[in-house]
């Protein structure tokens, strides 16, 4: 098999979840349902935050941004999956693959950073409640989100350009339902040493830094909660960050599960199913996690649907 450059490789072949034709309508319905729930659930959360003046606070500002990123994150992969199932066409062009890598890396990193920023917000609210309004100002919130977007965009641009420079063999099959950058790089026929360096450095710096910030924030939060004397005070303090902690655990545990499953088994289907958890299931569950026990969100949603607020 002869190597070729990007002009000789018009398309990649993506994995099929199942070749059984009878399962295709079920798979299509499952992905379509999850996608619609994700989009409408997160849009409702954004609408609730924007429509209720009581929710115009830093915590809900970050939450609305996270919901927007989750919609974009899911939209990077699922529409292509639905198209492939409906048309029984597994191919994705080289340009579309690079574009998908760009947006997938972008929104993954935005999720990382936004979860870290939200952890910092909870840290200040619980550990320094009297200085919260002084520290977490509206202009600082806007600046943090802007910095997150700029850093994410520059990183994803670098990563996608690094993939663009590679040469590939004439037949390239990706063992996933989307263009996973790590797998695409591994399939290249040219030297990928520089790609690996950039990819792992980015993962350690831009992936490790937010996680470290989250762990540090919650270590301080737990320490502050334990110093509260009353059980009611501890419960109230913990309830303010319980939803965020659950979302963080779900996000990082599913990503960890993907890499553990890919390392433990050679089955491409097993890795693809694991990838569904953090690319589709986690963004779908986030609005439910934040709204089920949040009285502010529930009040705003009742107002949107015209339900009397008790």
Domain boundaries, the chain: 7-302
pLDDT score for 47 = 94
How far is the C-alpha of 185 from the C-alpha of 97, rounded, in Å? 12
How far is the C-alpha of 7 from the C-alpha of 15, rounded, in Å? 23
According to DSSP, the residues that pair with 93 across neighbouring strands are 11
Three-state secondary structure string covering 133-178: HHHCCHHHHHHHHHHHHHHHHHHHHHHHHHHHCCCEECCCEECCCC
- Unique residue bearing structure tokens 């779908």: 284
Q: How many helices (H) and strands (E) does the chain have?
A: 13, 5
pLDDT score for 191 = 87
- What is the pTM assigned to this prediction? 0.90
According to DSSP, the residues that pair with 12 across neighbouring strands are 92
Cα dihedral across residues 27, 290, 39, 277: positive or negative: negative
How far is the C-alpha of 233 from the C-alpha of 12, rounded, in Å? 56
Tokens of 142: 């806007």
How far is the C-alpha of 174 from the C-alpha of 53, rounded, in Å? 47
CATH 1.20.1070.10 is the classification of domain 7-302? yes
pLDDT score for 253 = 85
Query: What single DSSP character describes residue 15?
Result: P
pLDDT score for 295 = 82
How far is the C-alpha of 156 from the C-alpha of 257, rounded, in Å? 23
**Which of the residues in the chain have pLDDT under 50?**
1-7
Residues 6 or more apart in contact with residue 256 via CB below 8 angstroms: none
Local structure of 14: helix, strand or coil: strand
Name the nearest CA neighbour of 178 among 9, 8, 16: 16
Each residue's pLDDT tens digit, 171-180 = 678 888 889 8
């Amino acid at each position: 098999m002869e190597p070729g450059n990007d002009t000789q490789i018009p398309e990649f072949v993506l994995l099929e979840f199942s070749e059984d034709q009878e399962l295709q309508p079920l798979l299509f319905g499952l992905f379509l349902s999850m996608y619609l729930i994700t989009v409408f659930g997160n849009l409702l959360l954004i609408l609730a935050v924007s429509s209720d003046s009581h929710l115009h606070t830093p915590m809900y500002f970050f939450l609305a941004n996270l919901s927007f990123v989750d919609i974009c994150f899911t939209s990077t992969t699922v529409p292509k999956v639905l198209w492939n199932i409906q048309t029984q066409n597994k191919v994705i062009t080289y340009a579309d693959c690079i574009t998908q890598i760009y947006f997938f890396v972008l929104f993954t990193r935005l999720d990382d950073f936004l979860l870290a920023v939200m952890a910092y917000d909870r840290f200040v609210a619980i550990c320094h409640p009297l200085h919260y309004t002084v520290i977490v100002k509206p202009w600082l919130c806007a600046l943090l989100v802007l910095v997150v977007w700029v850093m994410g965009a520059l990183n994803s641009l670098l990563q996608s350009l690094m993939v663009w420079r590679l040469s590939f063999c004439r037949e390239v099959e990706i063992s996933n339902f989307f263009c996973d950058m790590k797998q695409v790089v591994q399939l290249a026929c040219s030297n990928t040493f520089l790609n690996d360096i950039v990819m792992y450095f980015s993962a350690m710096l831009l992936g490790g830094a937010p996680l470290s910030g989250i762990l540090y924030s919650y270590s301080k939060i737990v320490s502050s909660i334990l110093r509260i004397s009353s059980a009611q005070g501890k419960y109230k303090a913990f309830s303010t960050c319980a939803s965020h902690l659950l979302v963080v655990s779900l996000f990082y545990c599913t990503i960890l599960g993907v890499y553990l499953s890919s390392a433990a088994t050679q089955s491409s289907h097993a890795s693809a199913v694991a990838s569904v958890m953090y690319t589709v299931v986690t963004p779908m569950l986030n609005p439910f996690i934040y709204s089920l026990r949040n009285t502010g969100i529930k009040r705003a949603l009742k107002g949107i649907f015209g339900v009397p607020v008790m």
